[in-house]
Amino acid sequence: MKKTKKRIIFLSTILIVCISLFTIYYNRKPLLKATSNWLTAQTIPFNLLVNPNKINKSIHPHAIALNEIDNQKYQEDLTEIDNLINSFNRHQQKFSWLSPTQTKQLQKRVKQKPHRYISSITPLLLGQDRTGQYTVLSINCYDDTTQIRSYRYRVYFRNHRSVKSHYLKTTTNTKPPKFIGFTNTLGVSGITKAPNFIDTINSTLTNSDVANQPNASSHQYSQLGKNIGLKNSGSALQQYALNSDANYKNSAITGYEISDVPRETKFFITQINKETKHYYTLIYNRNQGSFTGFQTGKHTVADIK
C-alpha cells in the first residue's frame, strides 16, 4: 500500500513538472518580455555594481581655458594691478585688497622690528588658475639693516577690484624685486602654444623606446628633452612618463604665470595617477619665443625672487 502511494506521488510530481515545463516553453516569449520589463523597471543600488570608493573620481584634472593675451589686454591688466598698488594708504598703512584680519597680521609682522616701514609694493607676475586672474604683490619693507624684508600676497582681481587675497610667504634680500612690465610690452605669451607643445612631449615619449624601458635613466629622458628644445628636463620627463596613463590623458594645464624678471611664462601642469597628484612646470622663454624647460613641482617667481 505504501509503495503504491509513493509511486502515485512520484508519477504526479513528474506529471506536474512536465506540464510546467511545457507551459513555460509554450509561453516563453511573453514570459521573457515580462521578465525583461520587470528588470528594467527596477532600481539597482549603485554600490552593488561599483564600489564608489574605488572610482577614480578625477582621472583627468580640470584644465583652465587658455585664451591668448594680447598686448592691449596685458596693459589693461597692468592698469588694474597699478590701481591695487596705488590704493595703499601710506599714512594709515592700510591696503584695500587686504581684509581687516590680514591687515592686522601684516602690521604685526612689520612691527616685529623697530624702525621697519613699508617702502614700496612690487607686482611680481600676472597669473591665472581655476579660481581666476591674480597677481602676486610684494610688500617691501626697510629697517636699520641692509636686508629688505618682503611680504608676498596673491591677490585675485576682477572688474577693477580685488576679489580675495592670500598670504604666501616672507622673503629677505639686499635688493628689491624687479618688474618691468609697466614700461615694456608683453610680446608672445606662449599661452596658445602650450597645448600643442604638451602634445609634442606626449608624442615624443610615446614614439620613443625609452619610455618602454623600466630601467631607463634620467639621462636618456634628458636627451629626449633636448631633441625638442628642453634643458635639464630628464628627471621631470621620466616622472611624467612613469605616471602617465596609456594615452597620456591624465594631465592638464591648471594654471600659468607671466613674469618679466625672468621674462617667461610658466605653465603649471597637474597629473593624476592612482588618485595621487603630481605637479610640473613648463617654461616658455618670451625672449627666445620657445619652450626651454620642464621641471617637477610648481616653480613660481614669487618663491625665488
pTM, 2 dp: 0.79
Phi first, then psi: give them for residue 171, nearest 5 degrees.
-130, 160
pLDDT of residue 192: 95
Q: Is 230 or 40 the better-scoring residue by pLDDT?
A: 230
pLDDT in tens, 111-168: 998 889 999 999 999 999 999 999 999 999 998 888 999 999 999 999 888 999 999 9
Q: What's the per-residue H, E or C state across the chain?
A: CHHHHHHHHHHHHHHHHHHHHHHHHHCHHHHHHHHHHHHHHCCCCHHHHCCHHHCCCCCCCCCCCCCCCCHHHHHHHHHHHHHHHHCCECCCCECCCCCHHHHHHHHHHHCCCCCCEEEEEEEEEEEEECCCEEEEEEEEEECCCCCEEEEEEEEEEECCEEEEEEEEEEEEECCCCCCCHHHCCCCCCCCCCHHHHHHHHHHHHHCCCHHHCCCCCHHHHHHHHHHCCCECCHHHHHHHHHCCCCCCCCEEEEEEEEEECCEEEEEEEEEEECCEEEEEEEEEECCCCEEEEEEECCCCHHHHC
How long is the chain?
305
Q: What is the pLDDT of residues 172-224, one digit of tens each?
A: 999 989 898 888 889 999 999 999 999 999 999 999 989 888 788 999 999 99
Provide Rg for the chain, Cα atoms.
32
Q: How far apart are CA 276 and CA 268, in angstroms?
A: 16
